[in-house]
Structure 1
Amino acid sequence: MVDVRDKLKISYESLEREQKEIFLDIAFLFIGMDVRLVIPMWKDAKYSPEVGIEILQLKSLIKIGEDNTIWMHDQLRDLGRSTVEQEDKEPGWRSRLWHGEDAFNVLVQQQVWHFRSFPSLESLILESCGELVWVDPSIVLLKNLILLNLRGCRSLEKLPEQLGSMESLVELLIDDTWVKELPILRGMKKLEVLSADSCTNLHEIPASVGSLVNLRILSLSHSGLKELPNSIGQLTSLVELILTGTDIRRLPDFIGDLHDLEVFMIDDTYVSGLPGNLGNLKKLKVLDALGQQNTK
């Protein structure tokens, strides 16, 4: 008699190689994440994520919620993780590590504090690694790095300046860290997603943010942000701008230049008025200004 786990295994084995990779990425890393944040990474890896996601849904291996979050049943998640665990008994030789502490321990065991040993690395995920206090400047040597996830690294206060020269980086996720500054340079040509939610020590973003011509999502909700630079108007590819719960009081008129903007969240802020040219945003679908604060 075939049990549930065997049936799930059969469904997994029926997938093409690329679809298996997407399935494993989700099982390890992306459950509960907005699928729109993940798609750019898969595309840069030369996958066809829209097709893969559709097939995974048709086989009932994942679901995409109304809020675009990825859902996977616990049994499928465990199947994916056990599949990778069987690759090698040593975590350092597996294709994926799902817990930030495991990745940190691998680095410690190998006494690797620079990144020269990983020239082909495409994704570096150290999420919720509470002991991480710094990122070595040699990270700039990771010429193929697409995703850098430092979410929940609450001891991390500074990012290396060299990060701004990483031309291949597509997603930078630093939510819920103590980072105070963003090292944004013109070299970050491919960056599409920058997320710094709940970075309460982050009070401003540099004017150089305007050089991120391919940026599609800028999320700064509940950060310590107090103002936006005028150069924000140069982000002509921006689709989502999330400023929920920040200390911003005034919006630059250049917001009206963001012609591709579809989602604009300024709820629970201190903004007292909207730019007069907001009507230029012909693609805008969501404007949330609920719960405006009158005083600080």
Structure 2
Amino acid sequence: EEEKFVFLDIACCFKGYKLTRVEQILHAHHGDAMRDHISVLVEKSLIKISESDIVTLHDLIEEMGKEIVRRESPDPGKRSRLWASEDIIQVLEENTGTSKIEIIYPNSRIEVEWDGEAFKKMENLRTLIIKDGKFTESPKHLPNSLRILQLQHSLCLSWDLPSEFYPRKLTICNISTKSTLFTQKFKNIMVLNFDRHEFLTRIPNVSGLVNLEEFSFQDCVNLITVDDSVGLLGKLKTLRAMCCINLRRIPPLKLASLEELDLSMCSCLESFPPVVWLLGKLKTMSLRRCIKLRSIPPLKLTSLEKLDLSHCVSLENFPLVVDSFLGKVKTLLVQSCHNLMNGLLDKLKFLSIERCIMLRSIPPLRLVLDNCEELQEIKGIPPCLKTLSALNCKSLTTSCKIKLLNQELHEAGNTWFCFPRAKIPEWFDHHCLAGLSISFWFRNKFPAIALCVISPSTLDDSRRLVRVIINGNTFFYESDDKRHKSPAKMYHLHLFHMKMENFNDNIDKAFFENKWNHAEVDFGFPFMNSGIHVLKEKSSMNDVRFTKPENDA
């Protein structure tokens, strides 16, 4: 029976939601057992979880679930779940609601002319979500049975919460109306969301919300003050304050359970909040576009995996990294930190430090260093480095470039490197002069090769698709570098490996059997020099020629 209830909740109201969000909502309805119920529904193929963790189901199964609810009663006020806007408007305007109603979630905008009394008879209403609506007046009553209350995007501006509203079971609250929220009443709340609350100027005392796990007040453009109690929430896992453009101070943080902290685009924030407790569980931290932030104090973030400091244009100081500080970081974004000079990284999988114009050295399998014109050295180049983009890094030393072109680094394949240089590596098997394309012949199968070109151009948005012509048949090869590029200011070396999965079609169909095949790689822009290297561990030189074979044998 519980599995049936979970299925009906999803079919009627929550199709297309992220799995984490569905679990959050259903936990408020059904407790910890909801995960088991979801697993059973997946096993029975009643619902599906996509690769991107979206909960979905077939249209026919969705309609079957909705029909089950419709058959509960011909009167919408006596059904358990209401999603059709016309049914909800009818129930609210005609005061025909009953204790049978458990969920109200309109699937489109509603405009209601009512007396505010309609919720009085809905003693078992668990979820009320209105994302887009207009009401002639505030509700005079709201059921204390509510576990989820979501009034989003300032679309219910006329609403004030009733003074006798005391929802002891409320666990998720999303509200952006002008209502003054009596937070001390919400003892069991786990998720509190004030996003886009245009009237909010101060986050009140929330010390009574001892079970709060997620607190978000993003895009509160008039918010000035955050109460110190926010920094003392022992169970808080997520704190989001993005785009609070007038917020100058975050209280001291003593948040032992915190996993995500987002203060991005808090453009008036000048200093990082004092940390009076180890943030040992913090995995993600974003300070993106905190344009007045000057420094970050030494922190011990032993679990941090992603750190975004991009466009912190005033940032001057970043603590030196040791294992106990950022030992698990996989992604670090610090592009456009114009004043950052020292103090970077150790164990990254991705690094973007574009336009850090004063940066001179980094100890670092993916590096994006574009337009760091003073960068001279990349220390300790790891053998697992696969992507390096150092566009316009004109100060790279000769010894550094030699290390970047070490044959062992590229022999295994799958690398993509770009940096200033005007010479093809000597270990390349074949060197060509200026032109627009490179040609070679092969037999049996397309060889595993690395290509290298010297050009003043870059593989920008219009040049990611390289033409590959095999025996007169045209295919397109897409570059691994997906980013938009700024113009090159000098000759650059582009070295990359051709991978079969990057072709737009199956190229095997163009091959001749037991004959030599001609291949031409057309880059679409002129180059000064080019070269081809055959990866000997994957292809035989006996099956590749750089001049036309005398016969097809």
TM-score of the pair, normalised by structure 2: 0.39
Q: Which residue number in structure 1 is paired with residue 250 of structure 2? A: 182
In the alignment, what sits opposite 1:85?
104
- Is the 2:48–2:55 Cα contact (8 Å) retained in structure 1? no
Q: Percent identity?
A: 16
Equivalent runs, 1:24-43 vs 2, <5 Å: 24=14, 27=17
Check conservation: 1:124, 1:148, Cα contact below 8 A.
yes
Task: Rate the CA distance shift 1:212–1:20 in 2: closer, same or farther, 3 A.
Answer: farther
Distance 2:235 2:35 in 1: 18
**By how many angstroms is 1:254 displaced?**
3.4
Q: Select 1:286's aligned residue among 331, 350, 353.
A: 350
Aligned pair partner of 1:160 in 221, 227, 235: 227
Which structure carries more helix by proportion?
Answer: 1
Residues 1:121 and 2:185 aligned together? no
State the 1:61 CA deviation.
Answer: 7.2
CA contact (8 A) 1:245 1:267 kept: yes
**Alpha-carbon distance, 1:96 to partner:** 3.1
Deviations 1:209-262 (A, max 9, x none): 6622211111110113221112x2x01111111101113123211366311111
| Pair 238,86 (structure 1): closer, same or farther in 2 beyond 3 Å | closer
Partner of 1:268 in structure 2? 336
Counterparts of residues 121-140 of structure 1 (less than 5 Å): 121-137=189-205, 139-140=206-207
Deviation at 1:113, TM superposition (A): 4.3
Q: C-alpha separation between the residues in 2 aligned to 1:18 and 1:193?
A: 32
**2:213, 2:326 → 1: CA distance?**
25
Q: Is the 8 A contact 1:152 1:175 kept in 2?
A: yes
Question: CA 1:16–1:191 in structure 2 vs 1: closer, same or farther (change >3 Å)?
Answer: same
The answer to whether 1:238 aligns with 2:304 is: yes
1:265/1:170 CA distance change after superposition, 3 Å: same
Opposite residue 147 of structure 1, the aligned amino acid is E
Q: Which residue of 2 aligns with 1:6?
A: none
Report matched runs for 1:141-160 at 5 Å.
141-160=208-227
Shift of 1:184: 2.8
Instruction: Indicate if the aligned counterparts of 1:169 and 1:191 stay in contact, CA closer than 8 A.
Output: yes
Q: What is the root-mean-square deviation of aligned Cα atoms in Å?
A: 4.4
Summarize the Cα distance change of 1:195–1:209 in structure 2 as closer, same or farther, 3 Å threshold.
Answer: farther
How much has 1:157 moved relative to structure 2? 1.0
Question: Within 1, Cα distance between the matches of 2:204 and 2:214?
Answer: 16
Q: Residue 213 of structure 1 is aligned with which of 257, 280, 285? A: 280
> Which of the residues 55, 64, 80 maps onto 2:52?
64
Q: Distance in 1 between matches of 2:48 and 2:227?
A: 42
1:101 alignment partner, one of 136, 144, 154: 154
Q: Secondary structure at the match of 1:200?
A: coil
5+ residue gaps in structure 2?
67-80, 85-102, 107-116, 120-127, 129-141, 164-178, 360-553
Letter in 1 for 2:305: V
Whole-Å Cα distance in 1 between the matches of residues 342 and 194 of structure 2? 38
Distance 1:272 1:143, change over 3 A: closer
Residues 105 and 221 (structure 1 numbering): CA distance in 2 closer, same or farther, change over 3 Å?
Answer: farther
Q: Which has the higher strand share?
A: 2
**How many aligned residue pairs are there?**
258
In our comparison, the structure showing a higher alpha carbon Rg is 2
For 2:199, give the aligned amino acid: E
Q: 1:260 to 1:202 in 2, by over 3 A?
A: same
Residue deviations 1:108-159, cap 9 Å, x none?
A: 543754322211111111111111111221x110111111110011110110
Q: Which has the higher contact order (CA 8 A, sep 6+)?
A: 1
1:157 partner amino acid: I
In the alignment, the residues of structure 2 paired with residue 193 and residue 270 of structure 1 have an alpha-carbon distance, to the nearest angstrom, of: 26
Unpaired runs of at least 5, structure 1: 1-12
Query: What TM-score results when the alignment is normalised by the length of structure 1?
Result: 0.69
What do the CA deviations read for 1:53-98 (whole angstroms, capped 9, x no partner)? x96x995676639xxxx799xx99xx99938425996455452315
